[in-house]
Amino acid sequence: MNGAMNEGGRPRAGDDDQHSAARPRDAQPASAVRDQRTAPRLPKLIQKILPPSRRAALRGEVRARDLAPEALLRLRRHFSVRRERAGLARGEEAPRAARLRAEFAALSPPELLAHFRARATPRLPDGLEAEPEESAHLSRERFPRETDELIARALQIVEADRWSLLGCGEFDFGGEVDWLRDPLSGARWSRGFFADVKLFRGDGSDARVLWELNRLAHLVALGQAYAVTSDERLAEKFFAHVEGWRAQNPVARGANWASAMEVALRAANLLAALRLFRRSPLLDERKLSTLLATLDEHGEFVRAHLEFSHLATSNHYLSNVVGLLWLGVLLPELEAARGWREFGLAEMLGEMDRQVLADGAHYESSTGYHRLVAEMLLYSFALCRANGIMIEEKYWSKLRAMLGYTRAYLRPDLSAPLVGDTDGGRFLPLSTRAADEHAYVVQIGAAVFDEPRFKLEARPPFELLWLLGEDGLRAYENVTAGEPTASSAAFACAGTYVLRDADLYLLMSASGAGARGRGSHAHNDALSVEVSACGSNFVVDPGTYVYTADLAARHEFRSTAHHSTVEVDGAEQNETDERAPFRIGDDARPRLLRWSAGDARDLAIAEHRGYERLPAPVTHARAVLLDKRRRFFLVEDTFAGTGSHTFRFRFHAGRAVAARVREGGAELYDDANGARLFVVALDADAQAAVEARSTSRDYGERAPSQSLCWTLRAGAPLRVAWALVPVGAGEDEGARLAETVGVLRATSRDKWLKIGE
C-alpha cells in the first residue's frame, strides 16, 4: 500500500481536507437515510381494494408518506422524458465537444493533450497507475499464467475480433463491430429514443448480453495487455472501438442508453482504459477530444436519469452514483466534475446505509449482486484513498463486514453458492471470473484491511496487482495466514445460516424477497439448502441461466421446484408471473426461530409463511443440524396447518454429481473423487424419484443435472426428516450409515434438535 494508509487500510485523517463525504444540499434522492428493513407495510385493506397491477407496484414495505414524493418523482420524469424525446425529434442531438472548465477550455488541443499525458493527479488506484515497465515485470514474474492468458485474449480481440461474454461463450464480431446487434440471438436493436426501447421482445434476444458487450470491459483487457507489451495494435483497436461505438450510439438513442446503470459501468471501464493507453503515440488531439466528449455525455446522461425511487433503491442506483463519483474524481477538467464527485460520494455512502444490512449482506437477497456491490465499493474506496478523499470509519467497517459475509458463505472449495439472481455482473473487471468466483474480492480485502481471515490462499489474486500494485502484493504477503476454514455463522438480517466444520458445509437460505420486500433478484428458495462434503458440492442452488432471452427458463430457474426446499400443492412460495421476470411477491417472509453453534453441533431453525395463502393454509418450518463428531446432517421439515396436501421434498444435485435411488433412500455420487452423500428418509415411506434438472454456473450457460424428489400425500400437521450422511472414497458406507441413521432412528429427534429449549 502507500504511506497514506493506517493499519486498518483507511486514509489517515488530514490527508486531504478539501474533500469530504458530507452530503450536498442538492443530493436529495437519498438524503433522508433510514432503516427501510423495519418500515411498515401498507394496511391490508388498502392492498385488497387495489387492482393487481397496483398491488404489485406497492408490494413489500412501503411507507404511506413515501407515496406522494414517489408520485411526484415519476410525474417529473414523465415530463422530462417527453421534453427529451421532442428535442431529439427536432434534431437537437448533434454531437458536441466536452464541456471543459474555463482554464482547460483555454488550452490549445496540443496543450490539452500534453496536460493529460503528463498529469500526476488525479489518480486511479496504484496498480492502474504503475509505469509500463513495472507492470510488465510484475505481471510476468508474479502471474505468468494469467499474463499469458491476458495477452492471448487481447490479441484474439485484435486479430480475430473475437471475445467471450459472460457464460455465453465466445462471439465473432467480425471487423467493424455492430454494437446494436444482440450477439446471442443475432437480433438487432433499433436506435430509437431510449425510453421507447422494448427490452422484453420475445424473439430470443437478451438485453443483458447486449449490455455486457456495450459495457466495453474488453477495452480494459486491451489496456492491461498494452501496459505489459506496448503493442500498438492494441491501442489501434481501442481507439477504433471507441470511435465506432460513439458513431453507432448517439446519446439517448437505442438500448445502450436504456439503463443509466449500463452508462455508468461503461464510463468506469472507459476511464480505466483511457488511463492505460494515455502514453500511446496513437492518442492524438482528435481522439482525446472524442473520449472527453463521450465521457462528458455519459456523466450528463447518468445525472439526468438516475434510477432512484423513494420506495426502494437497488444496485442500479448505486451503480449510477458510483459512476458519477469516478467521472468526477478522474476528470476534474470537466465543468460538471465537482458536482458529480460530491454528489456521487455522498450518495454512495448514503446507499451503503440503505442497502448494506447490519450483518454485511447486500439487501437484494442475491449473492451474485452482493459480489457486484462489494467489488464496486471496494474499488471506489481504493479510488478515494488514492486521491486523498476521506471516508468515515463506519463505512470502512461496513465494507469490511461485506467481505466478512462473502468469506462466510464461500463453500469449502472457495466457490460461491449462487443464491438468488446471478448475472455475472462485474465492476471494472481486471480479470475474467465465472459468476461463482467470489474469493478474489475477499482476498483483495486481506491486503486492504490486513485481515488474516480474508487471506484464503498464499497466492494473491491477479486483480490485486492491477488494483493496488506492488504495495498491494506486499501487503497481502505480510498478512498473517488465518484459519484454513471458516466458522459456522448466522446472518439474521440476510437470512443466511452457514453450518460448517472442516470440509462439512451446509447453507440454509431464509432470506426474503429483498430490497424491503420489493426485490427483483430473489428466488423462491425459502429454507433451501446447499450441502458440501468430502471435496464435493453435492446439493447446490441451480443458479439463474438467463433473464429475458427465455422467459420460461427464467421462471423455472427461480421457481420453488428448482430449489432444495419443499413444494406444497404445486404452489410457489412467493407469487411470480412468467411475464414479469423481475417481480417476485413477498409472501414467504422467512424468519429465524433458533440458532446455536458449538463444538459438537450447529443448529438452525427457521420458518416461512408462503403457503399460508393456500385454501388450507400451511406454515413450513425447517430445522437443519450438523453433528460434527459423527459427521452427518439432519434436515427436519414441520408443517403446521390443516387439510390434506401434496408435499414434494427436493435435493438439487450439483452438475458433476449423479443421483441414484437405492434401498432405504438415495445417494448423490461424485464420479470425480468417489465421494457420496446418502440421503435417507427417516419418516416417509415414499420412494425417491430422480428428476431431470439444469444447473447454471454463469449467465447464459447451463448443464444437465438431477434432483432427488420425495412426493408425499399427507395431512397437516406433518413432521418429516432426512439424514444426510457423507461418505468419502474408501470409507465403509455400511458402518457410516449404521452409526448415524441407526442412532437417529433409535433416539428421539427432539433430543437432537432440542426443540424444547
pLDDT band of 89, cuts 50, 70, 90 = confident
The whole-number pLDDT of residue 559 equals 97
Q: How far apart are CA 718 and CA 683, in angstroms?
A: 10
Give the DSSP letter of residue 356.
B
Radius of gyration of the chain (CA): 27
Q: Is the pLDDT of residue 38 over 60?
A: no
DSSP-derived secondary structure for 178-239: -TTB-TTT--B---SBGGG--S--SSS--HHHHHHHHTTHHHHHHHHHHHHH--HHHHHHHH
Lowest average pLDDT, out of 22-36, 171-185, 649-663, 729-743, goes to 22-36
Say which residues have a Cβ less than 8 Å from residue 69's Cβ, sequence separation at least 6. 310
Mean local confidence (pLDDT), 86-111: 88
The whole-number pLDDT of residue 24 equals 33
Q: Is the pLDDT of residue 698 over 60?
A: yes
Query: Contact at 8 Å (CB) between 558 and 523?
Result: yes
Q: Where is pLDDT greater, at 33 or 209?
A: 209
Give residue-wise pLDDT tens across range 299-325: 999 999 999 999 999 999 999 999 999
DSSP-derived secondary structure for 697-749: SSTT--EEEEEEEEEEEEESSEEEEEEEEEE-TTS-HHHHHHHHHHHHHHS-H
pLDDT band of 87, cuts 50, 70, 90 = confident
Query: Contact at 8 Å (CB) between 311 and 255?
Result: no
Say which residues have a Cβ less than 8 Å from residue 747's Cβ, sequence separation at least 6. none
Give residue-wise pLDDT tens across range 596-622: 999 999 999 999 999 999 999 999 999
Q: Is the pLDDT of residue 360 over 90?
A: yes
Lowest average pLDDT, out of 29-38, 139-148, 489-498, goes to 29-38
DSSP-derived secondary structure for 726-738: EE-TTS-HHHHHH
The whole-number pLDDT of residue 9 equals 37
The whole-number pLDDT of residue 15 equals 34
Mean local confidence (pLDDT), 503-509: 98
Q: How far apart are CA 509 and CA 388, in angstroms?
A: 40
Q: Is the pLDDT of residue 365 over 50?
A: yes
C-alpha cell at 419: 443464491
User: Identity (one letter) of the amino acid at 352?
Assistant: M
> Could you give phi then psi for residue 748, rounded to 5 degrees?
-60, 130
Closest to 368 measured CA to CA, from 412, 406, 330, 333: 406
Closest to 216 measured CA to CA, from 174, 172, 254, 271: 271
Q: What percent of the chain has pLDDT over 70?
A: 91
DSSP-derived secondary structure for 78-118: HHHHHHHHHHHHTT--------B-HHHHTS-HHHHHHHHHH
Burial code (b: 16+ CB inside 10 Å, e: under 16) for 27-51 equals: bebbeeeeebeebebbeeeeeeeee
Query: Contact at 8 Å (CB) between 214 and 262?
Result: yes
Peptide bond into 332 cis (omega under 30): no
Q: Residue 664: exposed, middle, or buried by beta-carbon count in 10 A (0-12, 13-18, 19+)?
A: exposed
Helix (H, G, I), strand (E, B) or coil at 546: coil
Q: What is the pTM of this model?
A: 0.92
Measured CA to CA in angstroms, residue 674 lies from 631, 654, 671, 706, 729 at distances of 17, 14, 5, 18, 5
Burial code (b: 16+ CB inside 10 Å, e: under 16) for 707-730 equals: bbbbebeeebebebbbbbbbbbee
Q: Which residue stretches of 450-482 are H helix?
A: 462-478
Closest to 583 measured CA to CA, from 212, 200, 263, 65: 200
Closest to 508 measured CA to CA, from 594, 413, 399, 403: 594
Give residue-wise pLDDT tens across range 103-140: 999 999 999 999 999 999 999 999 999 998 999 999 99
607 bridge partner residues: 591, 621
Query: Contact at 8 Å (CB) between 301 and 260?
Result: yes
**Percent of residues in the chain assigned helix, strand, coil, to nearest 5:** 40, 20, 40
Query: Contact at 8 Å (CB) between 460 and 447?
Result: yes
CA 3 to chain CA centroid, Å, is 32
CA 470 to chain CA centroid, Å, is 28
The whole-number pLDDT of residue 200 equals 85
Query: Contact at 8 Å (CB) between 687 and 661?
Result: yes
Q: How far apart are CA 620 and CA 510, in angstroms?
A: 12
Q: Which residue stretches of 509-563 are H helix?
A: 551-557
Q: Which residue stretches of 362-392 are H helix?
A: 367-386
Q: What percent of the chain has pLDDT over 90?
A: 79
Q: Is the pLDDT of residue 21 over 80?
A: no
690 bridge partner residues: 708
710 bridge partner residues: 649
Angle ∠(95,99,100) on CA atoms, nearest 5: 140
Closest to 703 measured CA to CA, from 713, 712, 691, 695: 695
The whole-number pLDDT of residue 143 equals 97
Closest to 487 measured CA to CA, from 410, 423, 562: 410
Q: How far apart are CA 717 and CA 729, in angstroms?
A: 39
Query: Contact at 8 Å (CB) between 26 and 343?
Result: yes
Q: Is the pLDDT of residue 34 over 50?
A: no
Q: How far apart are CA 330 and CA 307, in angstroms?
A: 23
C-alpha cell at 249: 450510439
Closest to 507 measured CA to CA, from 519, 494, 520, 521: 494
The whole-number pLDDT of residue 168 equals 94
CB atoms under 10 Å from CB of 140, counted, come to 14
Q: How far apart are CA 740 and CA 725, in angstroms?
A: 8
Q: To which residue does cell 477550455 refer?
A: 105
Q: How far apart are CA 319 and CA 426, in angstroms?
A: 11
pLDDT band of 96, cuts 50, 70, 90 = confident
Mean of the per-residue pLDDT values for the chain?
A: 90
pLDDT band of 504, cuts 50, 70, 90 = very high
Q: Where is pLDDT greater, at 177 or 17?
A: 177
